[in-house]
Chains A and B, each alone.
Chain A
Amino acid sequence: DVVMTQTPPSLSVAIGQSVSISCKSSQSLVYSDGKTYLHWLLQSPGRSPKRLIYQVSNLGSGVPDRFSGTGSQKDFTLKISRVEAEDLGVYYCAQTTHFPNTFGAGTKLELK
């Protein structure tokens, strides 16, 4: 199985600060079609997950452009510029290149 390693496990931030979350996979996430199926999700407290970024860097529908995703092969980063209160929760990276699909353990973003 592809292991997704997210760091850090938690982040304490002030509103307006910028943060980055890292996600590293144990195998390349480039599929045979040339695309990379690495996605970022946010689960706010008590809510269902919501997709933020799909295929490394594509912003999901309705997602503010304060969120951005970069990376390739096995090394990926989610950046949040100017954190707002609504951004708090647990962030997950997920890969759908290989079966079984796998998720990172999550990064909990809290207010400082």
Chain B
Amino acid sequence: EVQLVESGGGLVQPGRSMKLSCAASGFTFSNYGMAWVRQAPTKGLEWVATISYDGSSTYYRDSVKGRFTISRDNAKSTLYLQMNSLRSEDTATYYCTSGQLRWFAYWGQGTLVTVSS
């Protein structure tokens, strides 16, 4: 059974940092691109970042470029999102999902990030 399990969310003050993790199991993680998608409270889905299967290519939405870093450890089947200089508008549930070759086929349960003083 495929599982994506996010962790690392919580309450953080504006300007601070937070790192999200997504542990994958049940499929060959190293074969597929992966992505982070977020959803602000009561809002729709918003793509955040994508990473290629081997980590050599990364893509970001403009509003997080230079502040967020997507990375992966294929030996640990884990995806990461390092978030720096957090803003109130980054408050959302962050989902880990599959990318290239399995676009949106797998989703985690989401982890809530609340940026507030």
The yes or no verdict on A and B being binding partners is yes
B67 within 8 Å of A (CB atoms): no
Residue among B35, B47, B59, B95 having the largest count of chain A Cβ atoms under 10 Å: B47
| Total inter-chain residue pairs, C-beta < 8 Å | 56
A48: chain B residues at CB < 8 Å are: 95, 107-110
The verdict on B46 contacting chain A, using a C-beta distance below 8 Å, is yes
Interface size class of B (residues with CB under 8 A): 20 to 34
Q: Is the CB of B107 within 8 A of A100?
A: no
Nearest Cβ on chain B to A79's Cβ, whole angstroms: 19
Docked-complex contact B44 and A60, CB < 8 angstroms: no
> Footprint of B on A, CB under 8 Å?
37, 39, 41, 43, 48-51, 54-55, 60-61, 90, 92, 94, 96, 99-106
Interface residues of A, dominant DSSP: loop
Q: Chain B residues near A49 (CB, 8 Å)?
A: 37, 45, 95, 97, 104, 107
Q: Could you tell me if B44 and A101 are in contact, using CB atoms closer than 8 angstroms?
A: no
From A41, A90, A102, A104, contact of B104 by CB (8 A): A41
